[in-house]
Amino acid sequence: MPPEYAPFEEPGRKHPARGVLISSEQPTIVFLTVCTKDRQRWLARENVQAALKKIWLSTDTWLVGDYLLMPDHLHLFCAPRDLTVTLQRWVSYWKREFSCLHLPGAGEWQRDFWDTRLRRGENYTQKWNYVRENPLRAGLVKRPEDWLFQGRMNILPW
């Protein structure tokens, strides 16, 4: 009997890589995407936005720049203020704080998140322009500026 062969699998990430390279030679800005568990549609609500903003302001370890909430995921740009607090620890903190609020209609977070360290200032602008068009592409608004669930909390260093 011939040996059994495992099917060929393409190499690639099945789970997000962990850790953000922080360089003293240039500012560190991270583009972060966090999804709801099972892509449940509960994020784009005023009470959720207000709660997240309050939590993000309550910690000074990472600064939130531009952010946008879609019904089932969020995008934000962030930068470290306290180099001893990892991105993973910060995200875990604010997810836990949010979950403890038990907001009506709010669900759970997906365990992982996706992050990309931006290399140049123009990447921020390019990525933000793409992100802010998400509600338009999803048919939720006619113009990106009409989407209520977005904002800027801090100007990040570039």
Q: In terms of C-beta density within 10 A (0-12 exposed, 13-18 middle, 19 or more buried), how is residue 117 classed?
A: middle
Contacts of 124 (CB under 8 A, 6+ apart): 29, 31, 65, 77, 118, 156, 158
Give me the long-range contacts of 80-85 (CB less than 8 A, separation at least 24).
Answer: 80/20, 80/22, 80/28, 83/22, 85/61
The whole-chain average pLDDT of the chain stands at 87
Residue 37 CA to residue 35 CA, distance in Å, equals 6
pLDDT in tens, 73-127: 999 999 999 988 999 999 999 999 999 999 999 999 999 999 998 877 678 888 9
pLDDT at 10: 39
Q: Would you say domain 29-151 falls under CATH 3.20.20.70? A: no
Question: What pTM was estimated for this model as a whole?
Answer: 0.84
Task: Check the CA dihedral 49-54-60-65 and report its sign.
Answer: positive
Domain ranges of the chain: 29-151
In degrees and rounded to multiples of 5, residue 96 shows phi and psi of: -65, -45
